């Protein structure tokens, strides 16, 4: 194998060779450049292979024929080899990407590029301080040169500011170094570490200066304005290098330098890192220039890595796995995004909508964002998991909280950007496509997925990319060119097949949820046969959600559970985003969901206390003082998914604006994931007290208020789908209430809600969606009199609202019956009163669905409306049958669950399931008799009505006169708009959007703060220099003052 | 002697920094940094100086055998040489930038060079 020293030699030699070539030999020069970079990559790659797979020991390379400290030495191990490979590959890609620019600028520019890559490798390899300084200065000088390759003339100013700052850095570095040398008598990093520089007089100060110099290159807050300017104005290929290569190399230099200082300096690194991470992410919120935004994000990510470096001791063996995962994810994603930015003509975030015409580029964009945010299955996800666990196990809760907060901000602005890509107006000539640039960007996608696989293998948690549901979902990506009907068939077969293969292994609870989610999902997907053409992007998203759901149900460990949770969250986000006007709603959904997910992560991490492979069942053994906190974190996480009041504001928009067949998916099915989580939580952890407050009691209140507020808001909606969406908040409130009662019947009722809500809400969303499709509006007051034109949709709606309202004979009544039994045994009276109040309110809004849409006067423009399409009606009819069956024999499903729940409540069954009658201690419920009685009453009344009206004669629509006036427009005879105006007058104060105002104010505050504070980056190079000096002085006062 | 060199070095560094931070003219800033760099080099040499010893050149005057006790530490001087070379490179690059900026904007006032901000 070739010595790693040749990586340096090849870079340097080729750069000199370029200088010797005649000016005209452009092609030869370019060839030499590519060859040299490829060779450097090959050497690094072969060493990486040797270290990683053949277990080779790290090599020491001595120069000048003597040992350190009398000569410079290099060390190359696994970390160095992988970083060098990263440098060489990003360099090679940059050369390919910048081909035109390099040809224009000639061989000198190519030589500078080679020097840059060589110098970053040198920074990584060297174990000598002064040598480190030399390589860092080489990076600075070559950066100064490469910045000028930009077509943007503003890059000149940016480069100058960088040079000014780097002058300060080199002063700090040299002065620090010479005193450190004076104190220890060596310049060798390991020698200095052994000598423990801190012990010498002035040694700590010397080390401090050196550390500041290296950290300043990492662009810590606030000394980072110069970096941002370079990101914004440089050639995108160089910005990619600057972010990926310089960032990674300097991080590694900081890591080496901290060896000298030892453990007591680590907290400083963490502190600087976390401040930078959070602040840069806050500032990024208000960016509208793409490259500057990426710059802020780069700074934030490097800050995060610095934070991790500071936790080196705490992470132990996991250190390289965590830091490397975040670092590589950052490097690949950032390089990829910068490369993509070179394909987009204009610099506004909205201009990226130009990507939309190219699904492959959109996929690349999504990959990079997921990689950056750390979503499964990418390395950042595993790294985040380990990091959170290590921090929680060692009581670093503040740090964990800040990291998760920063990560949430980052996810927010990245997903907002993704929303722009898919939803903003697509510029006609927004792309500057060039095959080579595209290939370079796409190669990063390949690397991203390879890294995902690699980190999965290394994680010891089970590789997500080997999970069959996820692979099945990903399979739809290459199949996306097929017609939608074919893909839909495959999707339905997949859901049913997976359920068929796995249901024998499920317990009763899993079975209920799995049945609702998988075959239940298949039934809803029948409606998707309606769509024509290819429906690009729908199936990967939908199947990703289903993959998450399938994995959630089977999850045994907290890791599997959390991974599944994130998968289903992301999948459903993509689904929701497909709606025409759903951009802001999808964003609010993903932000709330990821916020909830991060709370869950914190909860699981706190629960595990460092135990690897933490089982879900082990939640039961979590002891004080963690238990109540774990409970609260997990419960809030799950409640964001069920849209409990307070964190519900994402739901109405997300569910209402989604496509016709997506609304039932995200409402009927997705909400159940939250209930499943709550079930698991309550089953394992039971009742918990925090500061003497019974947490389940709090949940009871939240459930009751959700039920009341959700229902109340639903009655004032004009938009039919919004009405249903608010109704879901209310319904989930009921389920939450039932669970929080912590008694057998309460849980049974919650499970009954799982089934019922799935059936009737899916059905109602489909019928309302079908009506909206035909009428072209979702506003109910624009409809009316559709009963004769859309009879099947009417039947479905009718059955649906009977079921929802909980009147006999349908299954909703069963739910109520169990519910009433349950609250007879519960202790809490006041929330019970509230939940009782919520009941009749449900009638009000349900009534509107029938009255306003199907009854009343047919509007002129709707006279030719046809019944909803066959495929949308079909699942509704299946649901009608299912509701009737479930109403007649609820015991079929519930008795098993009842038996399953019994052990949690002292082994006694709450109900007696003999025959077709269900008996509780307060009474009995016989569904069949009820159905018969109601049937007889209905038939009798109907017959009587027919008899009474036998002489009635049909009248035309306007054959009426009001107060001497003959109406001629349907609108004047059908009172439909603002139907409950009187109630609004009386109860309107309860529907004030207080929660929305709260969250909006919070977001607004963050944005305004960012907008004001980012003005500290005045653009003046001297101000930036002062920032750097101020940074050094403040850190000195805070840190050395306290040391 | 050595403390004078050291003090002069630090004074030069501070002067250079002051100049770099207060002058608006880019050329003056570059000159200020050169002053500061000279100060750094002086400090480097001063740190390596040992009282009563001679230059680290091995010839008839200083035989190999008693070199360890008679010459000063050569390393800081080597560092200074390298630092001077690097300083030259950076200064040249900055001057190029200044020239280009003047071509572009017609001014050398750094506060006029604020197209990129926030």
DSSP state of A612: S
Contact A168 B44 (CB under 8 A): no
Confidence of residue A901 (pLDDT cuts 50, 70, 90): confident
Take residue A765 and report the two structure tokens written for it.
């969303």
Portion of chain B with pLDDT greater than 70, in percent = 99
B90:A157 CB<8 A: no
B46 CB-near residues (< 8 Å, 6+ apart): B2, B3, B5, B6, B9
Tokens of B82: 């390298």
Contact A223, A93 (CB under 8 A): no
| Concatenated DSSP letters of A671-731 | HHHHHHHHHHHHHHH---EETTEEHHHHHHHHHHHHHHHHHHHHHT-SBHHHHHHHHHHHH
A952: how many CB neighbours lie within 10 A of its CB? 8
The answer to whether the CB of A8 falls within 8 A of the CB of A88 is no
3 state SS of A73: strand
More confident residue, A628 or B68: A628
Average the pLDDT over each of A692-696, A888-892, A961-965 and give the range with the smallest value.
A961-965
Do A1019 and B17 lie within an 8 Å CB cutoff? no
Give chain A's mean pLDDT. Answer: 92
The dihedrals phi and psi of B8, each to the nearest 5 degrees, come to: -60, -45
Q: Which of A167, A174, A187 sits opposite B90 (nearest CB)?
A: A167
Q: Which of A171, A1017, A1025 sits opposite B40 (nearest CB)?
A: A171
Q: pLDDT at position A807, please?
A: 83
**Given an 8 Å threshold on Cβ–Cβ distance, is A134 in contact with B86?**
yes
Residue B44 has pLDDT above 80, yes or no: yes
A822-838 per-position pLDDT tens digit: 877 777 788 888 888 88
Residues A213, A1032 contacting (CB under 8 angstroms)? no
Model confidence over A170-228: pLDDT tens digits? 999 999 999 999 888 889 999 888 887 777 777 889 999 999 999 999 999 989 999 99
* Residues of chain B contacting residue A1019, judged by C-beta atoms under 8 Å apart: 113-118
- Which of helix, strand or coil describes residue A909? coil
C-alpha span between A121 and A88 (Å, rounded): 8
Residue-wise pLDDT for A926-941, tens only, equals: 888 888 999 999 999 9
A1020–B111: do the CB atoms touch at under 8 Å?
yes
Q: What's the CATH number for B1-117?
A: 1.10.287.3510
What is the average pLDDT across A343-363?
Answer: 93
Q: What integer pLDDT is reported at residue A319 of this predicted model?
A: 94
Does the distance separating the beta carbons of B82 and A167 come in below 8 Å?
A: no
B117 close to A (CB below 8 A): yes
Farthest CA pair distance, chain B = 63
* pLDDT band at residue A377 under the 50/70/90 scheme: very high
All residues of chain B having their beta carbon less than 8 Å from the beta carbon of residue A137 are 86, 89-90
Q: Looking up tokens 């909280």, which residue turns up?
A: A401
Which run of H or of E encompasses A75? strand A73-76
Whether B95 has its CB under 8 Å from any CB of chain A: the answer is no
- Mind listing the pLDDT tens digit for each residue in A508-563? 999 999 999 999 999 999 999 998 888 999 999 999 999 999 999 999 999 999 99
As a whole number, mean pLDDT of residues A129-147 equals 94
Model pLDDT, residue A1010: 95
Nearest to A1014 among B40, B43, B118 (CB): B118
**Of residues A130, A159, A1026, nearest to B97 (C-beta):** A159
Chain A residues close to B26, C-beta within 8 Å:
160
A1015–B79 C-beta distance less than 8 A:
no
Query: Residue A257 pLDDT > 80, yes or no?
Result: yes
> A54-79: per-residue pLDDT in tens?
989 999 998 877 887 778 899 999 99
Contact indicator for A304, A247 with CB cutoff of 8 Å: no
Across the interface, of B47, B86, B101, the residue whose CB is closest to A160 is B101
Buried b / exposed e over A483-516, threshold 16 CB at 10 Å, is ebbebbebbbebbbebbeebeeebebbbbbbbbb
Q: Any alpha helices (H) in A807-957, and if so which ranges?
A: 811-825, 830-848, 870-888, 891-901, 927-948
Report CB contact under 8 Å: B21, A1022: yes
Instruction: Give the length of chain A.
Output: 1043
A9 close to A24: Cβ distance less than 8 angstroms: no
* Residue A664: count of CB within 10 angstroms of its CB: 32
Contact A149, A56 (CB under 8 A): no
Confidence at residue A1042, expressed as pLDDT on a 0 to 100 scale: 62
Angstrom distance (rounded) from CA A920 to CA A924: 6
- ∠ at Cα A1000 (A995, A1004), nearest 5°? 155
What are the backbone dihedrals phi and psi of residue A188, each rounded to the nearest 5 degrees, phi first? -75, 135
Taking CA atoms, what residue in B is nearest to A1023? B21
Using DSSP's 3-state secondary structure scheme, residue A319 falls into: helix
The pLDDT of residue A392 is above 90? yes
Mean local confidence (pLDDT), A743-753:
88
Mean pLDDT of A559-583: 95
Residue ranges covered by each domain of chain B = 1-117
Which residues from chain B sit within 8 angstroms of residue A233, using beta carbons?
116
Tally of residues, chain B: 118
Residue A172's nearest CA partner among A194, A205, A218 is A205
Q: What confidence tier does A888 reach under pLDDT thresholds 50, 70, 90? A: confident
Largest CA distance in chain A: 117
Compute the nearest-CA separation of B98 from chain A (Å).
8
Pairwise CA distance, residues A797 & A758, whole Å:
14
Pairing of strands A693-694, A918-919: unpaired
Token pair 């934070």: residue = A307
- In this prediction, residues B81-91 reach a mean pLDDT of 93
Check CB contact under 8 Å for A144 and B93: yes
Query: ipTM of the assembly?
Result: 0.96
Does B111 contact A1022 at a Cβ distance shorter than 8 Å? yes
Q: Which residue of A has its CA nearest to B89?
A: A141
Report pTM. Answer: 0.95
Establish if B48 touches chain A: CB-CB under 8 angstroms: yes
Pairwise CA distance, residues A739 & A302, whole Å: 44
Q: How far is B110 from chain A (nearest CA, A)?
A: 7
Nearest C-alpha in B relative to A158? B116
Output the six-digit token pair for A398: 């503040």
Please name the helix (run of DSSP H) or strand (run of DSSP E) that holds residue A140, with its range, or none: helix A129-147
How many angstroms separate the CA of residue A669 from the nearest CA in chain B? 44
CB A643 within 8 A of CB A732: yes
Q: Which of A51-65, A271-285, B42-56 has the highest mean pLDDT?
A: A271-285
Instruction: Determine the Cα–Cα distance for residues A974 and A786; give it in Å rounded to an integer.
Output: 13
Mean pLDDT over residues A388-412, rounded?
A: 96
Kindly report the nearest CA distance between residue B62 and chain A, in angstroms. 20
Residue pair A301/A330 in contact (Cβ under 8 Å)? The answer is yes
- The alpha carbon of residue B14 is apart from the nearest alpha carbon of chain A, in Å, by 11
- Residues A451-476: what's their mean pLDDT? 93
Contact state of A154 with B115 under an 8 Å Cβ cutoff: yes
Min mean pLDDT across A93-102, A782-791, A829-838 is at A829-838
Closest CB from B24, B89, B117 relative to A141: B89
Question: Which residue do the tokens 């459930």 mark?
Answer: A703
Tell me which residue has tokens 């009854």.
A855
Residues 6+ apart with CB under 8 A from A419: A577, A583, A584, A586, A587
Contact A243, A338 (CB under 8 A): yes
Can you tell me the mean pLDDT for A1009-1032? Answer: 94
Contact A409, A281 (CB under 8 A): yes
Task: Give the pLDDT of residue A389.
Answer: 95
Residue A909: predicted pLDDT: 64
**Pairing mode of beta strands A73-76, A59-62:** antiparallel
Cα A221 to Cα A12, A309, A575, A1016: the distances in Å are: 34, 17, 37, 11
Interchain CB distance below 8 Å, B114 and A179: no
pLDDT given at position A28: 94
Pick among B22, B39, B97 to test the A interface (most A CBs inside 10 A): B97
Q: Given an 8 Å threshold on Cβ–Cβ distance, is A174 in contact with B17?
A: no
pLDDT of residue A921: 82
Residues of chain B with Cβ-Cβ distance to A174 below 8 Å are 40, 43-44, 79, 83
CA distance B21 to chain A (A): 6
* Chain B hits for A182, Cβ within 8 Å: 47
Both tokens assigned to A310: 């500071």
- How far, in Å, CA of A674 to CA of A699, rounded? 14
Q: Do B117 and A1019 touch (CB under 8 A)?
A: yes
Whole-Å CA distances, A775 to A530, A658, A718, A786, A870 = 17, 17, 15, 10, 16
State which residue of chain B sits closest to A146, comparing Cα positions. B93
- Residue A138's closest chain B neighbor by CA? B86
Task: Work out the minimum CA distance from A1040 to partner chain B, whole angstroms.
Answer: 21
What is the per-residue burial (b if ≥16 Cβ within 10 Å, else e) of B15-48? ebbebbbebeebeebbbbbbbbbbbbbbbbbbbb
Three-state secondary structure call for residue B51: coil
β-strand pairing of A924-925 with A689-690: unpaired
- Residues of B within 8 A of A1029 (CB-CB) are 17, 21
Inter-chain residue contact A156 with B114, CB threshold 8 Å: no
pLDDT of A97: 96
CB atoms under 10 Å from CB of A920, counted, come to 18
Query: CA A759 to CA A882: how far, in whole Å?
Result: 8
User: Partners of A719 in the beta sheet?
Assistant: A779
Q: What is the mean pLDDT of residues B96-104?
A: 93
Mutate to test the interface with A, among B93, B95, B106 (most CBs of A within 10 A): B93
What does the pLDDT read at residue A37?
A: 97
């Amino acid at each position: 194998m070739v010595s790693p020293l040749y990586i340096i030699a090849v870079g340097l030699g080729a750069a000199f060779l370029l200088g010797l070539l005649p000016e005209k030999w452009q092609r030869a020069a370019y060839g030499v450049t590519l060859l040299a970079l490829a060779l450097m990559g090959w050497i690094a790659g072969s060493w990486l292979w040797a270290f990683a797979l053949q277990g080779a020991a790290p090599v020491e390379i001595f120069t000048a024929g003597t040992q350190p400290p009398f000569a410079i030495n290099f060390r190359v191990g696994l970390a160095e080899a992988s970083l060098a490979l990263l440098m060489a590959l990003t360099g090679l890609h940059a050369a390919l990407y910048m081909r035109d620019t390099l040809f224009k600028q000639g061989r000198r520019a190519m030589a500078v590029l080679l020097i840059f890559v060589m110098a970053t490798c040198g920074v990584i390899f060297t174990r000598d301080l002064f040598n480190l300084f030399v390589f860092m200065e080489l990076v600075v000088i070559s950066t100064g040169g490469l910045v000028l390759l930009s077509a943007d003339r503003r890059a000149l100013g940016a480069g100058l500011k960088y040079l000014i700052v780097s002058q300060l850095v080199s002063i700090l570095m040299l002065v620090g170094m010479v005193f450190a040398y004076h104190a220890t008598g060596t310049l060798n990093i390991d020698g200095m570490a052994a000598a423990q520089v801190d012990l010498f007089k002035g040694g700590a100060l010397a080390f401090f200066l050196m550390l500041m110099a290296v950290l300043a290159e990492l662009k810590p807050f606030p000394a980072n304005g110069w970096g941002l300017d370079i990101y914004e104005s440089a050639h995108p290929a160089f910005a990619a290098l600057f972010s990926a290569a310089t960032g990674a190399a300097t991080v590694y230099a900081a890591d080496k330098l901290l060896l000298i200082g030892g453990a007591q300096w680590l907290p400083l690194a963490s502190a600087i890192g976390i401040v930078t991470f959070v602040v840069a992410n806050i500032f990024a919120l208000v960016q509208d220039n793409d490259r500057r935004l990426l710059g802020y994000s780069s700074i934030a990510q490097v800050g995060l890595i610095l934070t991790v470096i500071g936790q080196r001791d705490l992470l132990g063996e996991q250190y390289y796995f965590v830091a490397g995962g975040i670092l590589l994810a950052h490097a690949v994603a950032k390089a990829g995004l910068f490369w993509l930015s070179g394909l987009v003509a204009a610099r506004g975030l909205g201009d990226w909508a130009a990507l939309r015409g190219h699904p492959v580029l959109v996929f690349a964009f999504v990959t990079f964002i997921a990689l950056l945010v750390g979503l499964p299955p990418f390395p950042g996800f595993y790294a985040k998991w380990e990091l959170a666990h290590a921090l929680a196990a060692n009581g670093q809760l503040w740090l964990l909280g800040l990291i998760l907060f920063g990560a949430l901000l980052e996810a927010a602005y990245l997903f907002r950007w993704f929303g722009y890509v898919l939803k903003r107006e697509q510029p006609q000539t927004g792309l500057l496509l060039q095959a080579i640039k595209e290939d370079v960007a796409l190669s990063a996608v390949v690397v991203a997925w390879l890294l995902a696989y690699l980190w999965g293998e290394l994680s010891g948690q089970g590789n997500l990319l080997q999970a069959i549901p996820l692979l099945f979902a990903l399979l739809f990506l290459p199949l996306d060119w097929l017609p939608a009907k074919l893909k839909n068939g495959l999707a339905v077969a997949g859901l049913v097949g997976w359920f068929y293969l796995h249901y024998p292994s499920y317990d009763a609870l899993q079975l209920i949820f799995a049945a609702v989610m998988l075959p239940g999902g298949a039934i809803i997907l029948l409606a998707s046969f309606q769509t024509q053409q290819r429906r690009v992007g729908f199936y990967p998203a939908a199947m990703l959600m289903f993959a998450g759901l399938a994995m959630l149900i089977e999850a045994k460990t907290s890791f599997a559970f959390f991974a599944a949770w994130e998968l289903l969250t992301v999948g459903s986000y993509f689904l929701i985003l497909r709606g025409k006007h759903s951009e802001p709603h999808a964003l609010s959904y993903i932000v709330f969901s990821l916020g909830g997910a991060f709370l869950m992560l914190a909860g699981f991490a706190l629960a595990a206390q460092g135990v690897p492979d933490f089982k879900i069942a082990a939640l039961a053994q979590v002891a004080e003082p963690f238990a109540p906190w774990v409970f609260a974190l997990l419960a809030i996480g799950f409640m964001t998914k069920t849209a409990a009041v307070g964190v519900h504001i994402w739901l109405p928009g997300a569910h209402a604006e989604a496509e016709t067949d997506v609304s039932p998916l995200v409402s009927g099915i997705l909400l159940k994931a939250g209930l499943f989580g709550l079930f698991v939580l309550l089953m394992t952890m039971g009742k918990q007290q925090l500061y003497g407050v019974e947490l389940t009691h709090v949940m009871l209140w939240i459930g009751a208020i959700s039920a009341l507020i959700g229902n109340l808001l639903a009655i004032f909606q004009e938009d039919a789908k919004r009405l249903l969406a608010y109704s879901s908040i209310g319904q989930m409130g009921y389920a939450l209430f039932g669970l929080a009662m912590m008694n057998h019947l309460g849980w049974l009722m919650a499970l009954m809600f799982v089934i019922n809500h799935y059936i009737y809400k899916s059905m109602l969303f489909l019928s309302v969606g079908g009506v909206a499709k035909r009428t072209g509006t979702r506003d109910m007051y624009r409809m009316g009199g559709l009963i004769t034109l859309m009879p099947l949709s009417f039947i479905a709606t009718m059955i649906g609202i009977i079921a929802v309202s909980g009147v006999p004979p349908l299954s909703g009544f069963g739910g109520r019956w169990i519910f009433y039994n349950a609250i007879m045994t519960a202790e809490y009276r006041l929330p019970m009163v509230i939940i009782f109040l919520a009941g009749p309110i449900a009638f009000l809004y349900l009534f509107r669905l029938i009255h306003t849409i199907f009854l009343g006067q047919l509007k002129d423009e709707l006279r030719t409306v046809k019944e909803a399409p066959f495929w949308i009606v079909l699942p509704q009819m299946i649901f009608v049958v299912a509701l009737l069956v479930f109403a007649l024999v609820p015991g079929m499903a519930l008795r098993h669950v009842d038996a399953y729940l019994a052990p949690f409540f002292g082994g006694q069954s709450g109900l007696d399931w003999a025959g077709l009658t269900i008996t509780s201690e307060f009474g009995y419920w016989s569904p069949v008799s009820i159905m018969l009685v109601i049937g007889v009453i209905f038939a009798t009344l109907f017959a009587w009505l027919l008899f009474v009206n036998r002489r009635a004669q049909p009248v035309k629509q306007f054959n009426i006169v009001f107060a001497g006036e003959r109406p001629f427009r349907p609108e004047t005879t059908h009172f439909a708009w603002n139907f409950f105006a009187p109630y609004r007058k009386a109860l309107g104060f309860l529907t004030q959007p207080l929660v929305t105002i709260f969250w909006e104010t919070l977001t607004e505050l963050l944005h305004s703060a960012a907008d004001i504070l980012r003005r500290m980056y005045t653009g003046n190079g001297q101000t930036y220099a002062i920032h750097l000096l101020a940074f050094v002085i403040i850190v000195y006062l805070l840190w050395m003052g306290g040391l | 002697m050595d403390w004078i060199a050291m003090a002069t070095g630090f004074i030069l560094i501070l002067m250079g920094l002051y100049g770099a931070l207060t002058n608006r003219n880019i050329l003056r800033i570059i000159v200020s940094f050169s002053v500061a760099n000279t100060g750094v080099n002086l400090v480097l040499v001063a740190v390596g100086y040992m009282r009563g010893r001679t230059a680290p050149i091995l010839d008839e005057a200083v035989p190999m055998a008693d070199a360890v006790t008679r010459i000063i530490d050569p390393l800081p001087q080597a560092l200074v040489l390298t630092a001077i070379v690097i300083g030259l490179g950076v200064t040249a690059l900055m001057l190029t930038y200044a020239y280009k900026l003047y071509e572009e904007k017609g001014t050398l006032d750094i506060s006029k060079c604020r197209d990129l901000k926030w």
